[in-house]
Structure 1
């Protein structure tokens, strides 16, 4: 298990102000980001997601949009959870509270996400084929169905975070 006390042990992804998106690697070339016609782009579709999470079609599958606010986000595989940094004095202060936050979370309704394999988390404004040129993180997921749920938690004084948990439910 990664020691969260080691500064920089976790990779964080930031956006330029809009939502982050986790797109299956196999359909990255189909995501145009903010590029598109004058009336609607893939980025516009991601921005239309209300609440903490939502799914949007990409190619022959769907991508997970992390909505609400453009918080720095990391994936902690030991918890199967995207952690969204809303407030904390340090990375360690935030990450040390994750177990407590997971226990205290009041989860929003789940969405079902069929995933063909690994996903890439990055700023939804970028085209998928350019995701490696910006903040991004690759998240290893086995192909299958996942239940995704989200919560906003304040587990301690001046420590606030969003949680997006991805749990495998079937093949």
Structure 2
């Protein structure tokens, strides 16, 4: 698999061409990815998500699908935001643009996501039980309800990226 994000300050997750998915750890074994006897696999369901984000039922919970394009993705805990690198000369240049992009973002799609705790971000084609053996990122979310909103930013002519921000809702 080609790497689009340069090694640097953050861990970046990439897919083989399909969407990335954040699945709660408690239901990872229930995500079958592209390995299923069903006519529509979990991976097929993830590919059908239209737009930047969507939710799919997994076990007794839901997974967050990062749709649109298979961009290299990192998580910035200080902003509770997934950053999806589409173009930019360097990781440092891209990350320097994030705070201003968050302030100026025109948020497009919003969903409400209930998570039981930490989630794992990985290529939706893989079964959840194998996520730890593939390229993945563990995000230590607290259990609760979150509003998830998405936007696309182009802060410079050759720098653009997606933003998927999680905002914890009060009980």
Same fold (TM over 0.5): yes
Determine the C-alpha separation between the residues in 2 that align with 1:170 and 1:19: 29
CA RMSD of aligned residues (A): 0.9
In the TM superposition, residue 156 of structure 1 has moved relative to its aligned partner by 1.3
Q: Give the TM-score, by structure 1 length.
A: 0.94
In 2, Cα distance between the equivalents of 1:132 and 1:34?
16
Aligned partners of 2:74 and 2:82 also within 8 Å: yes
Q: Which runs of 4 or more aligned residues in structure 1 lie more than 3 Å from their structure 2 counterparts after TM superposition?
A: none
Specify every segment of 5 or more residues in structure 1 that has no aligned partner in the other structure, as ranges.
1-6
CA-to-aligned-CA distance 1:75-126 (integer Å, 9 cap, x gap): 0000000000000011111111000110111001310000100000000000
Q: Check if 1:155 corresponds to 2:151.
A: no
What SS is found at the alignment partner of 1:170?
coil
Contact 1:107 1:150 (8 Å CA) reproduced: yes
Displacement after TM superposition at 1:162 (Å): 0.2
3-state SS of paired residue (1:125): coil
Partner of 2:45: 45
SS at match of 1:131: helix
* Superposition deviation, residue 165 in structure 1: 0.1
Structure 2 match to 1:133: 133
Deviation, structure 1 residue 157: 2.1
* Superimposed CA distance per residue, residues 121-146 of structure 1 (whole angstroms, 9 cap, x where no aligned partner): 00000000100111100001100000
Which deviates further from its counterpart, 29-38 or 18-27? 29-38
- Partner secondary structure for residue 17 of structure 1: coil
Using the alignment, how far apart are the partners of 1:11 and 1:167 within structure 2?
Answer: 22
Counterparts of 1:8 and 1:28 in 2: how far apart (Å)?
28
Conserved? CA contact 1:46–1:124, under 8 Å: yes
Q: What is residue 107 of structure 1 aligned with on the other side?
A: 107
Tell me if structure 2 keeps the 8 A contact 1:104–1:155.
no
- Matched residue, 1:18: 18
1:110 alignment partner, SS class:
strand
1:8 & 1:140 partners in 2: Cα distance? 21
Q: Tell me if the contact between 1:152 and 1:160 (Cα under 8 Å) persists in the aligned partners.
A: yes
